[in-house]
Amino acid sequence: MFFDDRLATVLRQRATGEASLRTQYRQLLDLLGRERVHPAGGDESLLAAAWLRLDALGGAIPAATRARMIREPGWRFRNPDLALHLADQEADVAAAALARADLADEDWAALIPHLPVRARGFLRLRRDLPVDAEAVLARLGIHDRGLPAPAQAPTQADAEEEPAAPAPVRLRAVPAGLHAASPTDDRPADPPRNRDDTGRTEISALVERIAQFRRARGETEAEFEHSPRLPLGELPERSGRAIAAFGFAADTTGRIGWAAGEVAPMVIGTRLFAGTDADDTIARAFQRRQPITRGRIELEGAPTIAGSWILDAEPRFSAEGHFTGYFGRLRRLPDPGAVVAGSPEAREADRIRQLLHELRTPVTAVQGYAEVIQQQLFGPAPHEYRALAAAIAADAARILAGFEELDRLARLETGSITIEPGECDLAALLRATAGQLAPVLAPQDAGFEIALAPDMGLIVGIDREDAEALVWRLLASLAAATAPGERIALAADPLIGQSGALVRVRCTLPARLAAEENLFAGSPHGTGRSAGSGAISPGLFGTGFALRLARAEARAAGGDLRREGDALLLTLPLLGGNSELRGAVGA
């Protein structure tokens, strides 16, 4: 899901009956109860409308009903704004909301001073508050109160004995606003109690902090990257996130002795200026103790630092004038094929994504209303209307699929997304896809002639789902343009290129596509046959767009898709362990 339109969808619904009012109220609680609410498209007015609708629904639903909905088992919320909003309502609603809030330590500490005085007392009903939150409550004077037991008339036997001190009776969560009426409140405030008085031991506090850590550990990728883990197999492998730049300091031999941040363990001890991977400009500047500007250097080691870098450094000298080393900064060499943020290509792609978002919203609404009519969710509908609604829903789904392809192409060509790595047998995938297309092409005596050995396997290093989408776009585009009696020759063979082991898939072009000057542009012949007739269609925008998207996917995976005469050549990177590579190397 690229854009979250659920809040706008809920606000578009008209709630009239009692059941629909409760349903919409619960939907808003779920959406606004997320940790942080980001309205679609950054429209803050949408978020403001949601809070106003929540208040309007609260006025139409009794407080007891709202409190019961909030107290439903298994439901909690993590948005401190919702906790503050509900805490200012009726006592039942405020108590239920503060009992169900599941906030982070820092959110509790920031929220408590802004709560109404009455609502602060409700927090004493909870025994799982963080230690910092309890400290804030103590500073604000919110404590449990012990009142003496009611006095009884002394008996004759009691009069002869020394009276005992009255036993305290513990009351739970008395709101601070009620203490002013108690005659015991003119005594000094109770001092902050230790953990033994509150019933919380060091062990319980430690357990609570561990639970809070587990909740917060998976919230952001950066926190996961820095969190330690044991090799027990219960967590996914860390991503090979590349470092863009880092500062360093080197000694007189050119060896790094200090580096900034998480890079330090990977580069400390590396020789920058005396190795063979440094260019002549860096070596001469180092020998002459001169500043280094935009020098080129190659680093080896962990995947996060390996590669080409640009070096800027200044020499350091002691007070006596002795050379002590260099300090500087290393920046990753930019990819010449990558689209720079802020460039015309990136801005154009961003405008396309925004336009698609604006178009996707009404199409989604049309699809939803059509499905409501087709499924008769709001009551019976004539069969003719249901048939029309089903056709509209199908067309809307096809349009949304086309929007997703446009968005994917824009993201791939600007480098916003990449093809996921993985393992996939390309030879088996080519056979399976051609087999799916064969029944459609057989009636016109057309099809694929596959020149692949039955036991041939070509393991490519991309995710299977991405590989299936790429192969389908390629073969479906060719099949949609075939004429009766045409046969498409398909062959694949491994080869060793400058960038490593590759597999090359060669597909002959049908005559209709071979006559096109540019296969990767829209053309009158690129729309394929009608999808509604059950024949093959390369996509909503035709063959040219489908091939262009396939080319972008191949390039993002480390390969390419290009035309060579009357054939299309698809290249993809191979993984090690392919038996076919040994034959390619030997050849």
Tell me the per-residue pLDDT of 518-564, one tens digit each, with 9 for 90 and over.
888 754 344 443 333 346 777 778 888 888 888 888 888 888 888 88
**Alpha carbon separation from 535 to 176, 479, 531 (Å, rounded):** 74, 10, 6
Report the range out of 207-216, 241-250, 510-519 with the highest average pLDDT: 510-519
Report the range out of 166-170, 247-251, 413-417 with the highest average pLDDT: 247-251
Cβ-contact 313, 328 below 8 angstroms: yes
**Alpha carbon separation from 286 to 274, 330, 332 (Å, rounded):** 9, 16, 21
Taking the C-alpha atoms of residue 116 and residue 123, their distance in angstroms, rounded to an integer, is: 12
The contacts of residue 513 (CB under 8 Å, 6+ apart) are: 477, 478, 481, 519, 525, 543
Report the range out of 33-37, 413-417, 429-433, 520-524 with the highest average pLDDT: 429-433
Residue 50, both tokens: 């949601």
Per-position DSSP letters for 100-143, written without gaps between them = HB---HHHHHHHGGGS-HHHHHHGGG-S---HHHHHHHHHTT--
* Residue pLDDT, tens place only, 104-151: 888 888 888 888 888 888 887 787 888 888 888 888 777 654 444 455
Taking the C-alpha atoms of residue 170 and residue 84, their distance in angstroms, rounded to an integer, is: 28
The contacts of residue 472 (CB under 8 Å, 6+ apart) are: 433
The whole model's pTM is what?
0.42
Residue 562, both tokens: 């290009």
Give yes or no for residue 392 having a pLDDT over 90: yes
* Residue pLDDT, tens place only, 32-82: 887 665 555 556 778 888 888 888 888 889 999 999 999 888 788 889 999
pLDDT confidence tier of residue 497, bands split at 50, 70 and 90: low
Taking the C-alpha atoms of residue 346 and residue 446, their distance in angstroms, rounded to an integer, is: 42
Residues 119, 122, 125, CA angle at the centre, nearest 5°?
A: 165
pLDDT confidence tier of residue 196, bands split at 50, 70 and 90: very low
Phi and psi, residue 503, nearest 5°: -115, 135
* Residue pLDDT, tens place only, 254-293: 889 888 877 888 888 888 775 544 557 788 888 888 888 8
> Once rounded to an integer, what is the mean pLDDT over residues 409-425?
79
The contacts of residue 551 (CB under 8 Å, 6+ apart) are: 520, 560, 561, 562
Check residue 219 and give its pLDDT.
46
pLDDT confidence tier of residue 495, bands split at 50, 70 and 90: confident
Of the given ranges (2-16, 59-73, 393-407, 506-520), which has the lowest mean pLDDT? Answer: 2-16
Tell me how crowded residue 447 is: count the other CB atoms within 10 A of its CB: 19
Check residue 144 and give its pLDDT.
53
pLDDT confidence tier of residue 191, bands split at 50, 70 and 90: very low
Amino acid letter, residue 122 = F
